[in-house]
Amino acid sequence: MTIDYLLNKVLNVLKTLLLLVSLGLTLYVILFMYKRLDKSLVESVSVFLPYLVILILFMVNFIYRQKIVNDNFFYNIVCCLVFSLFIYCGIRAIADPFMISGIKQGFNINFDYYSDMIAPLQIMLYGLSAANIFLLLSKKKENSKLSEGVAQKIDVGSQKN
């Protein structure tokens, strides 16, 4: 077991945990925001759609043990960075005491700030989903590699004979 392997495993677990926490925070803020605006929650589908896409992709990566994604250090790092950013923004929207519009509105959440952040957050989620899909598409078949290796050995063996 190398350090790379351990680090990737830790980051892999961490990114899933961070995704769930950020999804929970977004759900909390959006629920209150739509309740305040008297809007139907069905209209918030566009906000949660990228979350759903990336969640499905993570589940596919996990179930089929796709190493090209799960063991990709850069992908894991970017995922952790993005989800940490989501959590940071969520916490700021709820707990930053210096944002005046939050005080003025009289709610516990600064909706002005969070609504400004929704679009960039969605772009990042779609970017991660697309990167995940392209990584899966770039995957080379392991069996073909194995068969190529075996074929080469047979070839070498036959030449010796």
Partner 1 sequence: MIDFLKQYCRIIAYSLMGLVFAFASFFLLINMYHQAEISKVYTISSSYRTSVIDDYLTSVQNIKDNLASINPSDYEGTLTSSQAQTAYQKLNTCVTALSNDTISSTFDKQQVNIVDVYYLRESYENEAVKNCLGSLSWFADASEKEIKNTFLLQNEKVLGLYINELAGKTNSLKSRLLNNSSFHFTTYISAITYDEVSGSFTEVVDAYSDVATLTEELSNFLKQEMEGAK
Q: Is residue 102 part of the contact set for partner 1 (CB under 8 A)?
A: yes
Total number of residues binding partner 1 (CB under 8 A)?
Answer: 39
What angle do helix axes 3-36 and 73-95 make, rounded to 10 degrees?
30
Q: Does 78 bind partner 1 (CB under 8 A)?
A: yes
Q: Which of 35, 139, 145, 153 binds partner 1 (CB under 8 A)?
A: 139
Q: How far is the CB of 85 from partner 1 (least distance, A)?
A: 5
End-to-end CA distance of the chain: 40
Among 40, 98, 157, 158, binds partner 1 (CB under 8 A): 98
Least distance in angstroms from the C-beta of 126 to partner 1? 9
Measured between alpha carbons, how far is residue 24 from residues 30, 31, 90, 120, 144 in Å? 10, 10, 10, 18, 42
State the Cα–Cα distance between residues 143 and 22, nearest whole angstrom: 38
If binding is defined by CB under 8 A, does position 9 make contact with partner 1?
no
* 128 lies in the binding site for partner 1 (CB under 8 A): yes
Q: Is 82 in the site for partner 1 (CB under 8 A)?
A: yes
| Site for partner 1 contains 104 (CB under 8 A) | yes
Nearer residue to partner 1 within complex by CB, 2 or 144: 144
What is the contact surface with partner 1 in residues (CB under 8 A)?
74-75, 77-78, 81-82, 84-85, 88-89, 92, 96-104, 110, 112-113, 116-117, 120, 123-124, 127-128, 130-132, 134-135, 137-140
